């Protein structure tokens, strides 16, 4: 330690991960001045802690992503195995196949079974690969199929509910016709595919040269109008099939 007025340097402790600072007496007015080596920052957060926090955050995100993938794999197994058992139990029994109730349940199980490979499995692959490499045609077709399956599962429940409502609430007018059951199921599939058509327009591959992703593209007014039509159709059909004021 020395006096600052004699030009003797007095070391000043630096924070961990930073440069050294020193107090000298070589100022023009004879007062002490501070000189720091490159990388020093008095009182600032050390760069080491910033890097450490970033690494900790990356590790946390990695753990969360691994947990999500594990859960999705288990969910995929449950969906496929469970619905496959239901379909096998109905298909292998001639007596069960003659039941109109099982006819609806079989189509409902088929909808739920397709949810596994078309939605859950694709989500797992997307989380692993991060980017889309299958091209724009597959992107559009896949999104169309996903929305169709999502709608069909709901509309199949509505068709089943309509059939059971007539059987319980209006038993004298209930015919139990297979033609009526097939029409309800066919209507559910057709409406599901019809209201999934906008996905063929809205989805496309963005950033194909750098980081290709299959996402909804709403750049032009036309795309926004299609999206608005999609939402209106979805709300309208849910109100009608869901038993609104003018519903079934």
Q: How far is CA 2 from CA 6, 104, 155, 163, 227, in A?
A: 8, 94, 87, 98, 76
Which pLDDT belongs to residue 98? 79
Which pLDDT belongs to residue 228? 56
Asked which of 9-18, 68-77, 159-168 is least confident by mean pLDDT, the reply is 9-18
Domains plus CATH for the chain?
A: 4-36 (no CATH), 47-241 (1.20.1070.10)
pTM over 0.75: no
Average pLDDT over residues 190-198: 93
Asked which of 21-25, 126-130, 199-203, 205-209 is least confident by mean pLDDT, the reply is 21-25
Q: How far is CA 85 from CA 36, 120, 136, 189, 231, in A?
A: 73, 19, 35, 22, 35
Asked which of 10-14, 53-57, 107-111 is least confident by mean pLDDT, the reply is 10-14
Which pLDDT belongs to residue 237? 47
40-44, 223-227, 241-245: which is most confident: 223-227
- pLDDT tens across 81-126, in order? 999 999 999 988 877 777 888 899 999 999 999 999 999 999 999 8
Asked if residue 104 lies in contact with residue 181, where contact means CB atoms within 8 angstroms, the answer is yes
Q: What is the DSSP string of the chain?
A: ---GGGT--EEE---TTS--EEEES-STTS--EEEE-TT--TTSPPHHHHHHHHHHHHHHHHHHHHHHHHHHHHHHHHHHHHHHHHHHHHHT-HHHHT-HHHHHHHHHHHHHHHHIIIIIHHHHHHHHH-S--S-HHHHHHHHHHHHHHHHHHHHHHHHHHHHHHHHHH-TTT----HHHHHHHHHHHHHHHHHTTTTHHHHEEEESTTTS-EEEE---SHHHHHHHHHHHHHHHHHHHHHTT-TT--
């Amino acid at each position: 330690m020395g006096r600052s007025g004699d030009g003797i340097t007095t070391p000043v402790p630096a924070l961990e991960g930073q440069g050294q600072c020193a107090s000298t007496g070589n100022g023009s007015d004879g007062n002490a001045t501070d000189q720091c080596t490159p990388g020093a920052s008095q009182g600032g957060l050390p760069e080491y802690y910033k890097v450490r926090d970033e690494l900790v955050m990356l590790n946390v995100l990695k753990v969360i992503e691994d947990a999500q993938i594990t859960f999705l794999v288990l969910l995929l197994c449950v969906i496929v195995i469970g619905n496959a058992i239901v379909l096998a139990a109905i298909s292998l029994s001639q007596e069960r196949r003659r039941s109109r109730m099982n006819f609806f349940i079989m189509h409902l199980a088929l909808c739920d079974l397709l949810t596994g490979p078309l939605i859950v499995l694709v989500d797992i692959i997307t989380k692993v690969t991060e980017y889309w490499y299958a091209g724009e045609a597959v992107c559009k077709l896949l999104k169309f199929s996903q929305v169709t399956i999502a709608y069909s599962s709901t509309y199949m429940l509505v068709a089943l509910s309509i059939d059971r409502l007539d059987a319980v609430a209006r038993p004298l007018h209930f015919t139990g016709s297979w033609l009526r059951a097939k029409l309800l199921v066919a209507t559910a599939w057709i409406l599901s595919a019809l209201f999934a058509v906008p996905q063929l327009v809205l989805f496309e591959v963005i950033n194909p040269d750098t980081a290709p992703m299959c996402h909804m593209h709403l750049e032009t007014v036309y795309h926004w109008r299609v999206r608005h039509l999609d939402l209106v159709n979805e709300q309208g059909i849910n109100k009608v099939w869901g038993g609104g004021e003018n519903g079934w």
